[in-house]
Chain A
């Protein structure tokens, strides 16, 4: 009975009610959307590198080592000598080890020297491997494999020549030794997309004629001479390590951290990612706070419309009272109307979110490398919806109590 009344009364003011529902729906969509992006970003971030048990570099901080070795942000404080690298590689706990050498660039992209094994060992998004979209991995000394973003931004296809610049932001280019794009990787959503990958030997080769950051004047070793040179690296910037068994991870980490010949640092990538996220994650809390405020604003908007409707409905309320409705019935009617409005708003918000996700998911993955899974709502999201409905009921109590107190006297004495 009261439900029918409530629905009928809402139907009578369909435009105002529709606006309120829309406001609540949009705010709920925003809130849940932010929540989705937040968890998606966190998961994508944590999945930047998987399958690697330890990252080894010169001793600095774990976040810094992670930043330069995985995200190519910032620079290494020091390199790891080739001898130490060999020592670690020879340890029994080590299943595999892949060296990384950084420090050069091509246009705005970092160049990374590594071995072909990198393509097998680097894993992201729960064990997904790198796939070559076009061409093949490096076979020749002057071959490069480029990430999807590099290819897209610079318009490269396989076979194109490229020149590697010395340093990160420098105009000194290694012009003597032009490289050739041998392969382009599939888009991964990881920093690999923005990396030009060459072999470790190639990094040595382009520095043959360089001393102290400048080319030795007049000296230019012909390419065929370089090819015959011993291009064993003198140092690596970092190394990705896989252990034989997880049980040995901590022992190996400690052994590397206490390596007496050179100050080294071994980090657990998962733990370092967590540390880094703890820094980056402050923004997510702010974002969540802002979207929660939007929901609150929408609910207060609903309260305002109920208040203003009270004025229009004075007579209606008075007639209900005159016909024998108790004040609590009037109050219940108002609260029920608000709950219905909030519930419909929340549901529509949810639907809009899934619709939006469905449409935008591939675009977001393409543009930002952010994978937002479309899943059934989590328990947390359902609680949010329930919370919105409950909050709707609570804010409607304020006008409802007013109606409860005034319903009879106010409606009967119509002032002109």
Chain B
């Protein structure tokens, strides 16, 4: 079986199979992405953060401790208002929140995700991915991906965001924030040293 693997790889690399597109997203430890879209009283937020920022490692969870750390992180990420603190006057509440772990190098359809709802992964599937990881040894990056939908009773009071995120996740250094509102798009960099974002002028 072990000998078959290089053969399979050779086959994969031949032009006959080259139709499959290969690509890999950029990945920088310490830097996450936060996209915020606002329309009316609905605020949609999505977070992408390297596994290194959230749990401190990016390999496929091996020990029970690793898995517990990932589960705890997913549970923490499912509570957005504790990570991204909005002014109380805006009266925002969470309608929908989901968080998962996504691994790179497994982009061809079978990315093994760690859903908040269903994080018991079947061991067999896990094995398959381990082979995938061997096929692309540099691809051992993983990313946490969370999506939130909030509704705010008084969106006009959204004057700033305080990023408790940096207190919760000690390895995170920076978040690249993009905000889209009816008046256009803007980008900000929020760093650990100054974890607030002034939203006045965005609405």
A245 to B180, CA, bound (A): 10
A50 touches which of B39, B178, B184, B186 (Cβ 8 Å): B184
What is the interface residue range for chain A against chain B?
10 to 19
Contact of A271 among B21, B38, B44, B186 (CB under 8 A): B186
* Least distance between A375 CB and chain B CB atoms (Å): 15
Q: Does residue A246 face the partner (Cβ distance < 8 Å to B)? A: yes
Task: Digitize A257-278: 1 where CB-to-B-CB distance is under 8 Å, 0 elsewhere.
Answer: 0001001000011110011000
Whole-angstrom CA separation of A260 from B20 in the bound complex? 9
Task: Please judge, given known A-B contacts A53-B180, A246-B180, A260-B21, whether A268 and B185 are in contact too, CB under 8 Å.
Answer: yes
Bound form: Cα–Cα A268–B39 in Å:
16
**Contact assessment for B42 and A268 in the assembled complex, using a CB-CB cutoff below 8 Å:** no
Assess whether A250 is interfacial by the CB under 8 Å rule: yes
Query: A-facing mask of B150-188, CB < 8 A → 1, else 0?
Result: 000000000000000000000000000010111011110
**Size bracket of the B interface:** 10 to 19
- Asked if A247 contacts B178 (CB within 8 A), the reply is no
- A246 in contact with B182 given A271-B187, A274-B187 (CB within 8 Å): yes
A52 shortest CB reach to chain B, Å:
9
- B181:A246 contact, CB within 8 angstroms: yes
A250 to B35 alpha-carbon distance, docked (Å)? 7
A263: chain B residues at CB < 8 Å are 21, 23
Tell me which residues across on chain A come within 8 A of B44, comparing CB atoms: 247, 250
Beyond A247-B42, A247-B44, A250-B46, whether A270 also contacts B37 by CB under 8 A is: no
**Does A237 sit within 8 A of B, measured CB to CB?**
no
What separation, in Å, do the CA atoms of A110 and B46 have in the docked complex? 39
Contact between chains at B21 and A246 (CB < 8 Å): no
Which A residues touch B186, using CB under 8 A?
Answer: 270-271, 274
A341 at interface, CB cutoff 8 A: no
In the complex, whether A249 has a CB less than 8 A from a CB of chain B is yes
Partner of A245, one of B21, B35, B39: B39
Chain B nearest CB from A60 CB (Å) reads 14
Give CA–CA (A249, B180) in the complex, Å: 8
When chains A and B are docked, how far (Å) is the Cα of A270 from the Cα of B181?
11
A271–B178 contact, CB under 8 A? Answer: yes
What are the residues of chain A within 8 A of B21 when measuring CB–CB?
A: 260, 263
Query: How far, in Å, is A388 (CB) from chain B's closest CB?
Result: 28
* Contact (A275, B187) CB under 8 Å given A247-B42, A249-B180: yes
Closest to A59 in B: B23
Q: Which residue of B lies closest to A50 (CB)?
A: B184
Residue of B21, B182, B185 ringed by the most chain A CB atoms within 10 A = B185
Name which residue of chain B comes closest to A269, CB basis: B185
How far, in angstroms, from A274 to B38 measured CA to CA in the complex? 19
In residues 257-303 of chain A, which contact B (Cβ within 8 Å)?
Answer: 260, 263, 268-271, 274-275
Interface 1/0 per residue, A20-62 and B, CB below 8 Å: 0000000000000000000000000000001001000000000
Q: Chain B residues near A248: list those with CB within 8 A.
A: 37
Q: Report B191 CB to chain A, min CB distance, Å.
A: 16
Q: How far is the CA of A246 from the CA of B182 in the complex (A)?
A: 7
Q: Distance (Å) between the CB of B10 and the closest chain A CB?
A: 24
Cβ contacts B51-76/A at 8 Å (1 or 0 each): 00000000000000000000000000
**Is there an interface contact between B37 and A268, defined as CB atoms closer than 8 Å?**
no
Closest Cβ–Cβ distance, residue A241 to chain B (whole Å): 13
Complex CA gap A248/B180 in Å reads 10
Residues of B within 8 A of A245 (CB): 39
Chain B proximity of A126: nearest CB distance (Å): 8
- Give min CB distance, A280 to chain B, whole Å: 16
Task: Please name the residue on chain B nearest to A253 by beta carbon.
Answer: B35
CA distance A246 to B180 in the complex (A): 6
The 7 A-B pairs with the shortest beta carbon distances in the complex, nearest first, are: A270-B185, A268-B185, A271-B187, A270-B184, A250-B35, A247-B44, A246-B39
Task: Report A's interface with B, CB cutoff 8 A.
Answer: 50, 53, 245-250, 260, 263, 268-271, 274-275
25 chain-A/chain-B pairs, Cβ below 8 angstroms: A50-B184, A53-B180, A53-B185, A246-B37, A246-B38, A247-B37, A247-B42, A248-B37, A249-B185, A250-B35, A250-B37, A250-B178, A250-B180, A263-B21, A268-B178, A268-B180, A268-B185, A268-B187, A269-B185, A270-B184, A270-B185, A270-B186, A271-B178, A271-B186, A274-B186
Known pairs A246-B182, A247-B42; list 16 more (Cβ under 8 Å): A245-B39, A246-B38, A246-B181, A247-B39, A249-B37, A249-B185, A250-B44, A250-B178, A263-B23, A268-B178, A268-B180, A270-B184, A270-B187, A271-B185, A271-B186, A274-B186
